[in-house]
Amino acid sequence: MSILVTGGTGLVGHAIANICNEYAYKFVFIGSKDCDLTNLEATRELFKSIRPKYVIHLAANVGGVFKNIHCKVEMYEKNILINHNVIKVSHEFSVEKVVSCLSTCIFPDKTTYPINESMLHDGPPHTSNEAYAYSKRMLEVQSKAYQQQYGDKFICVIPTNIYGPHDNFSLDDGHVIPALIHRCYLNKHNNVDFVVRGSGSPLRQFIFSKDLAKLMLWVLEEYDELETIILSGNEGSEITIKEVSELIAKAYDYSEYITYDTSYTDGQYKKTADNSKLMGILGDFAFTTIEQGIQESVNWFIQNNHNCRK
Tens digits of residue pLDDT in 277-299:
999 998 888 899 999 999 999 99
Sign of CA dihedral 161, 166, 171, 177: positive
Q: Give the closest residue to 18 by CA, choosing from 5, 37, 35.
A: 5
Query: Residue 308's CB: how many other CB atoms inside 10 A?
Result: 16
Q: Render each residue's pLDDT in the chain as its tens digit; 310 residues.
A: 899 999 999 999 999 999 999 999 999 999 999 999 999 999 999 999 999 999 999 999 887 777 878 889 999 999 999 999 999 999 999 999 999 999 988 999 888 988 999 999 999 998 888 999 999 999 999 999 999 999 999 999 999 989 999 999 988 777 889 999 999 999 999 999 999 988 999 999 999 999 999 999 999 999 999 999 999 886 557 899 999 999 999 999 999 999 999 998 887 788 888 999 999 998 888 899 999 999 999 999 999 998 888 7
Rounded CA-CA distance 156/70 in Å is: 27
Domain ranges of the chain: 2-163+205-231
Q: Which CATH number fits domain 2-163+205-231: 3.40.50.10680, 1.10.1200.10, 3.40.50.720, 3.30.980.10?
A: 3.40.50.720
Q: Give the closest residue to 164 by CA, choosing from 1, 273, 3, 16.
A: 16
Whole-prediction pTM: 0.92
DSSP letter assigned to residue 107: S
Sign of CA dihedral 126, 276, 203, 18: negative
Q: Give the closest residue to 261 by CA, choosing from 183, 160, 182.
A: 183
Phi, psi of 304, rounded to the nearest 5 degrees: -125, 15
Known catalytic residue at 132? yes
Please report, for residues 67, 98, 209, the alpha-carbon distance to residue 282 in angstroms, rounded to integers and kept in the order given.
Answer: 35, 20, 18
Considering the candidates 76, 132, 185, 260, report the single residue annotated as catalytic.
132
Bridge partner list, 187: none
Residues 6+ away with beta carbon under 8 Å from 38: 78, 81, 82, 85
